[in-house]
């Protein structure tokens, strides 16, 4: 079928004991039963591979190999497969992956006929030039971006509206405390604000507001007290926040930031660009039958997740791709090839922003400072080896509203681990299949990453090393859309 390769590559005659190098083999494409076999087993033994904890579609095994050149292939659900994202060669009986492990006096030029196995699986004795998967071309990128842009331009926000459901808006005259209790009880990360006097939607109350309020409470010089939260309205808080972050208009006058919203007939591309350009999580879809915009109706809260899950976009970008990969060629390539997401230095292409990580014994005050200063929505929580333990997100903040937990804690004394325990008695409202940390590998294709991000409640994926779960980066929905829309 394939060809018999060397079970042991060239060894130096000076070595009486063969040098063995632990080598990790990874199959990141799923399956029920996965094995690996190769020249190092003389193609006679199939080595079982086990799924990685937290990544059920990723299989791995560590096997001791001698230095030199080896060929291998995966046996997945009864079929021989090779990994297109790893070096491979065309052998007599098919395509096999290759690996070269450096060692003393070892050169990857040929196998010795005397050491080749006697298996009936014929293998090229002299390996050919390795045919690595080419990096993406600018043409592939342009084609994919153009097709996605055209599709999003042809469809409207109206198509995001569910057949049934509810949209919750908050009266901005509500006390801050009551407003956040509502967010927590409804499992919402944010809600639009309605001003009865003006008869319009005037803003959004989000988890970031709660973070700023809790920091204000923890500030000894603050004018805001716990008692005042009982009467301090959302409108008053927003007004105070505006005074701290005032902006000048074109005439040099101070102006309040406007609510970022969209209409039902705005294109999906326009909605996505509003989210990206204004760095917001959602955009309210508001409609008014009056020419002056009075009596507006709140129809929906549009998000990048909703656009990705839109049945039209999902059918074109994800399902149709399975049958016609040439339609969006860029989705074939691994995410490590792109300047996509935020990476640990020297692992991937960074977007210039350092990856923020914290230890579980870090204080909640440290987490709040990082969320605000680094302007990120989540922070991987890692151990001393930078292996992923958990993730702390802005959406976790509202758990502190439960049972008035925020009145009983000090931010600089409560650890992140303790803060996460406060919400463990409830089902995490923003998790998929009960897992808080959704992960991927840097070898995963963009298509696979988008499929995972399309799952309910998944807003980001932590990029980890197979096996150790060492954090290598993080990729969010915003990163993907910013890349696809150029």
* pLDDT beneath 50: ranges in the chain: 1, 3-16, 104-133, 220-223, 248-249, 254, 320, 323, 347-351, 427-434
Instruction: Provide the strand spans (E) within 122-266.
Output: 170-171, 190-195, 200-206, 247-248, 254-255
Label the pairing between strands 170-171 and 190-195.
parallel
Closest among 356, 386, 388 to 372, alpha carbons compared: 356
- Identify whether residues 26 and 73 lie together within a single domain: yes
Round to whole Å and give the CA distance between 72 and 486: 38
Measure the CA–CA gap between 243 and 420, rounded to whole angstroms: 33
Closest to 63 measured CA to CA, from 80, 79, 50? 50
Asked whether 304 and 477 are in contact (CB, 8 A), the reply is yes
Q: Are residues 305 and 336 in the same domain?
A: no
Report the C-alpha gap between 183 and 191 in whole angstroms: 8
How many CB atoms are located within 10 Å of the residue 403 CB?
11
In a domain, 117, yes or no: no
Do 304 and 359 fall within a single domain?
no
pTM for the full model? 0.65
Which of 101, 130, 145 is where one domain is finished? 101
Please report whether residue 1 resides in a domain. no
In a domain, 136, yes or no: no
Q: Which domain holds residue 465?
A: 332-426+434-485
**Is 351 a member of any domain?**
yes
Same domain, 170 and 273: yes
Angle at 184 between CA 400 and CA 271, to 5 degrees: 120
Q: Give residue 228's pLDDT.
A: 63
Rounded to whole angstroms, how far apart are CA atoms 468 and 388? 9
Q: Are residues 340 and 469 in the same domain?
A: yes
Collapse the DSSP code of 64 into the 3-class scheme (helix H, G, I; strand E, B; otherwise coil) and give the result.
strand
Do 350 and 455 sit in the same domain of this protein? Answer: yes
Residues 263 and 345 in one domain: no
The CATH number linked to 448 is: 3.10.580.10
Domain-embedded: residue 76: yes
Q: Is residue 146 included in any domain, yes or no?
A: no
290 and 348 in a single domain? The answer is no
Q: In 19-167, where do the E strands start and end?
A: 21-27, 34-38, 47-48, 50-52, 55-65, 68-76, 79-81, 88-91, 94-101
Count CB atoms within 10 A of the CB of residue 322: 9
Owner of token pair 């927003």: 238
pLDDT at 235: 85
Residues 286 and 359 in one domain: no
**Does residue 165 sit in the same domain as residue 280?**
yes
User: Are both 463 and 401 inside the same structural domain?
Assistant: yes
What CATH number has the domain bearing residue 46?
2.60.40.10
The pLDDT of residue 219 is 58
Helix (H, G, I), strand (E, B) or coil at 192: strand
Count: domains in the chain: 3
Q: Give domain status of residue 322, yes or no.
A: no
- 330: which 2 tokens? 């860029």
Q: Could you tell me if residue 263 is inside a domain? A: yes
**CB 262, CB 283: distance < 8 Å:** yes
What beta strand segments (E) does 140-288 contain? 170-171, 190-195, 200-206, 247-248, 254-255, 282-287
The backbone region for 360, taken as left when phi is positive above 0, alpha when psi lies in -120 to 50, beta otherwise, is alpha
| Pair 199, 230 in one domain | yes
* C-alpha dihedral, 267 to 269 to 270 to 276, nearest 10°: 150
The pair of three-digit structure tokens given for residue 221, joined into one six-digit string: 């010089």
Q: Which tokens hold the place of 208?
A: 């970031």
Residue 232: other Cβ atoms inside 10 A: 17
């Amino acid at each position: 079928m394939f060809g018999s390769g060397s079970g042991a590559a060239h060894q130096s005659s000076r070595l009486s004991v063969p040098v063995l190098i632990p080598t990790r083999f990874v199959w990141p494409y799923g399956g029920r039963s996965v094995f690996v076999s190769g020249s190092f087993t003389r193609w006679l033994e199939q080595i079982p591979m086990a799924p990685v904890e937290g990544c059920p579609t990723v299989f791995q095994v560590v096997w001791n190999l001698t230095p030199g050149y080896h060929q291998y292939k995966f046996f997945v659900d009864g079929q021989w497969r090779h990994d297109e994202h790893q070096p491979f060669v065309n052998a007599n009986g098919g395509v096999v992956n290759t690996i070269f492990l450096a060692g003393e006096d070892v050169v990857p030029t040929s196998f010795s006929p005397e050491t080749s196995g006697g298996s009936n699986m014929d293998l090229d004795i002299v390996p050919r030039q390795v045919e690595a998967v080419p990096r993406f071309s600018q043409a592939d990128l342009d084609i994919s971006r153009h097709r996605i842009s055209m599709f999003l331009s042809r469809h409207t926000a109206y198509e995001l509206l569910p057949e049934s459901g509810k949209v919750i808006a908050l009266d901005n005259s509500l006390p801050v405390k009551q407003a956040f209790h509502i967010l927590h009880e409804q499992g919402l990360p944010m809600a639009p604000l309605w001003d009865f006097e003006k008869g319009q939607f005037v803003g959004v109350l989000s988890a970031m507001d709660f973070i700023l309020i809790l920091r204000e409470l923890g500030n000894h010089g603050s004018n805001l007290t716990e008692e005042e939260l009982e009467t301090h309205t959302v409108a008053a808080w927003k007004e105070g926040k505006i005074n701290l972050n005032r902006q000048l208009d074109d005439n040099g006058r101070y102006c309040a930031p406007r609510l970022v919203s969209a209409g039902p007939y705005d294109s999906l591309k326009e909605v996505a660009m509003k989210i990206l350009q204004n760095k917001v999580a959602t955009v309210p879809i508001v409609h008014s039958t009056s020419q002056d915009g009075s009596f507006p109706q709140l129809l929906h809260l549009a998000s990048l997740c909703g656009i990705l899950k839109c049945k039209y976009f999902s059918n074109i970008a994800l399902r149709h791709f399975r049958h016609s990969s040439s339609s969006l060629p860029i989705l074939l390539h691994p995410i490590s090839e792109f300047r996509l997401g935020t990476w640990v230095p020297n692992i991937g292409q960074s977007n210039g922003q350092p990856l923020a990580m914290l230890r579980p014994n870090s204080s909640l005050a440290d987490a709040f400072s990082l969320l605000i200063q680094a302007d990120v929505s989540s922070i991987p929580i890692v151990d001393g080896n930078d292996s992923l333990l958990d993730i702390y997100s802005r959406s976790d903040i509202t758990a502190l509203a439960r049972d008035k937990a925020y009145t009983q804690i000090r931010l600089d004394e409560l650890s992140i681990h303790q803060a996460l325990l406060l919400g463990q008695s409830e089902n995490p409202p923003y998790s998929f299949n009960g897992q808080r940390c959704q992960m991927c590998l840097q070898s995963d294709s963009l298509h696979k990453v988008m499929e995972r991000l399309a799952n309910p409640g998944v807003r980001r994926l932590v990029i980890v090393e197979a096996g150790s779960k060492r954090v290598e980066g993080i990729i969010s929905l915003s990163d993907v859309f910013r890349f696809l829309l150029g």
